[in-house]
């Protein structure tokens, strides 16, 4: 099963207070149908596609000429497919939004047919339209490309942190029961969140100290920092947390290290 089949599940099941409006993934998380579903749900799908400069683009009308895009505009969208199934596509989006069906199950069922049905073809055509608009924007705006790369790199940094923490059994889940697998994954999430929280607290303290000492720390630079660092973490020792006896009044940070200054 490709990543693209499951990419919408966690976004629609988001239980945090954060409102997710844009999602970035790599090529494995993309299909034309995923582009269509994201747009129908009012979300922006911004994948980093491999060999994006050679991707085929689509247009609605061959009569309209785009001289600068002629080598890429090789396909023509079937407008009738989209219009004839528009109400069905909106109902699918509503079902996904209300949780009546998961996106992964819906996409899997569409792909299971020996021959694609009319709804699958309509979603694919609409996805090609949205993908074409996305690629044109990606190629046109350097700031948009940088934002996508930055977002994806932050996700990759989090994956690297999880891989660093999940060192036992060479990162292999060997439990057979689903409950034990879920428990192991939950423990990894707890450890990951602990490291991220610890890093965030100390990064904030370091930034505050730098500003107090007169160093120019800009907010736009802070946006590029990631709390998924782990070079300073020792994963092999034992840590104890006395939650029952601890309180915010007794919480204090360790002294910050002062970097050596060049002579």
- Three-state secondary structure of 8-27: CHHHHCCCCCCCCCEECCCH
Instruction: Quick: pLDDT tens for 144-194.
Output: 998 888 888 888 888 899 989 888 776 677 777 788 888 888 888 898 999
The answer to whether 11 touches 20, Cβ cutoff 8 Å, is: yes
Which of 85, 95, 101, 120 minimizes the C-alpha distance to 41? 95
Rounded Cα distance, 13 and 103, in Å: 10
Rounded Cα distance, 70 and 262, in Å: 55
Instruction: Quick: pLDDT tens for 42-76.
Output: 999 998 888 887 788 888 887 777 777 777 787 88
Model-level pTM? 0.75
Rounded Cα distance, 162 and 226, in Å: 14
What does the pLDDT read at residue 263?
47
| pLDDT above 90 for 13 | no
| pLDDT above 60 for 255 | yes
The answer to whether 37 touches 96, Cβ cutoff 8 Å, is: yes
């Amino acid at each position: 099963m490709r990543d693209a089949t499951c990419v919408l599940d966690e976004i629609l099941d988001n239980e945090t207070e954060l409102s997710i409006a844009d999602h970035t993934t790599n090529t494995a998380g993309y299909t034309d149908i995923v582009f269509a579903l994201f747009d129908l749900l009012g979300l922006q799908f911004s994948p980093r596609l491999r060999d994006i400069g050679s991707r085929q683009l689509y247009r609605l009308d061959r009569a309209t000429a785009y001289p600068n895009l002629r080598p890429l505009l090789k396909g023509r969208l079937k407008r009738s497919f989209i219009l004839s199934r528009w109400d069905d596509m909106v109902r699918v989006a509503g079902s996904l939004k209300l949780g009546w069906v998961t996106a992964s199950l819906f996409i899997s069922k569409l792909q299971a047919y020996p021959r694609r049905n009319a709804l699958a073809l309509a979603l694919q055509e609409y996805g090609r339209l949205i993908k074409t608009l996305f690629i044109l924007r990606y190629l046109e705006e350097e700031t948009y490309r940088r934002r996508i790369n930055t977002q994806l790199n932050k996700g990759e940094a989090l994956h690297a942190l999880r891989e660093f923490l999940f060192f036992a059994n060479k990162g292999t889940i060997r439990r057979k029961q689903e409950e034990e697998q879920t428990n192991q994954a939950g423990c990894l999430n707890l450890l990951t969140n602990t490291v991220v929280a610890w890093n965030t607290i100390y990064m904030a303290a370091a930034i505050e100290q730098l500003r107090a000492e007169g160093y120019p720390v800009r907010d736009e630079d802070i946006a590029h920092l990631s709390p998924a660092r782990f070079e300073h973490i020792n994963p092999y020792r034992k840590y104890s947390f006395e939650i029952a006896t601890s309180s915010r009044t007794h919480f204090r940070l360790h002294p910050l290290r002062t970097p050596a200054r060049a002579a």
